[in-house]
Amino acid sequence: MKHAPEVPDVVVAGPVSWNEIVHLDALPDAVPHTVFANGSYRTVGGTSAGKALNLAALGRRVLLRTVLGDDDAGRSARAALAVPGLELAAAAAADGRTERHLNLMGSGSERLSVYLHAPSDVPTSDPGWERTLAALDEARAVVVDLAPHAQPLLAEAARRGVPVWADVHDWDSRAAFHRPWVDAASYLFLSSERLPEHRALMSERVAAGARLVVCTHGADGATALDADGRWYHVDAVPVERVVDTNGAGDGFVAGFVDATLDGADVPEALAVAARHAADVVTSEGLAPARSEVEHRRRAI
């Protein structure tokens, strides 16, 4: 007798990649020269992998809708995503190849990401798509990340009236690619890195109907604006040693979503998100292990 699949707390849709991470003293100048790496390794990447792994580490049931190839990179990514609480609903890449990046990491938070292979589009007719649609109305939160293959879910959520959480990263307010996510988001996350007038944009999005806009500022913390026009700020949580900044932003979003589902108000959710982002940068990979998260919670 078959049992019905468990209803996820959160649906996450978007990119998963297999990455080569290279740590350097500083990002190289654009002139011919030789540099020596401080270390390198291969690991799963992609903003949706980061959010899904962090939500699973926080104890959430997560359905991850993405695209993977039938190649060594895809098999490695699947293995890395095989963690408790994470259900993978992956479509087959049309070209059989998995998205891959080369990430050059400076000694601070700076990063240069080189796309070695971009993801291919997929039809919305595979079993993973049907499973995702079945979960769409029942999940407590739906996160749709920046990827062409995630856009059909963005449209489907709008058609069904399902609120969407969207993270547009370092959008500059002009790039047209990000606009469907910006317009669709009930809960919008972005970075001030390329937005000197971020407060004006945040106010604009709330006026347009967003329930909440959160803008992160790296080491300077984060700012939020809710639908009632109330502003909030949280400082970044200091850490003794940064191990890996990959996944910090995704960890922040995951922490905020997790706290919100637990009933936290905006200030509480911001504080939880900042703490979890600090846990991410002091751990290897995109997310700390679930056991690490549980240990730190007991220590608070």
Read off the pLDDT of residues 180-238 as tens digits, 9 standing for 90 and up: 999 999 999 999 999 989 999 999 999 999 999 999 998 899 999 999 999 999 999 98
Structural domain includes residue 25:
no
- State the total domains in the chain: 1
Question: What residues pair up with 86 in beta bridges, in sequence order?
Answer: 62
- Which CATH number belongs to the domain containing residue 174 in this structure? 3.40.1190.20
Given this model, what pLDDT does residue 43 score?
93
Structural domain includes residue 116:
no
- Calculate the dihedral angle through the C-alpha atoms of 132, 133, 137, 143, rounding to the nearest 10 degrees: 50
pLDDT tens digits, one per residue of 258-279? 999 999 999 999 999 999 999 9
Q: From start to end of the chain, where are the E strands?
A: 10-13, 17-23, 39-45, 62-68, 86-92, 100-105, 111-117, 141-144, 165-167, 187-191, 212-216, 222-226, 231-234
Structural domain includes residue 258:
yes
Cα(50)–Cα(169) distance, rounded to whole angstroms?
13
- Determine the number of helices (DSSP H) and then strands (DSSP E) in the chain: 9, 13
Cα(9)–Cα(195) distance, rounded to whole angstroms?
32
Cα(222)–Cα(242) distance, rounded to whole angstroms?
19
Residue 84, token pair as written in the block: 């408790």
Q: Give the pTM.
A: 0.92
Only one residue has tokens 């769409």, namely: 136
Q: Range of 172's domain?
A: 10-15+47-94+124-299
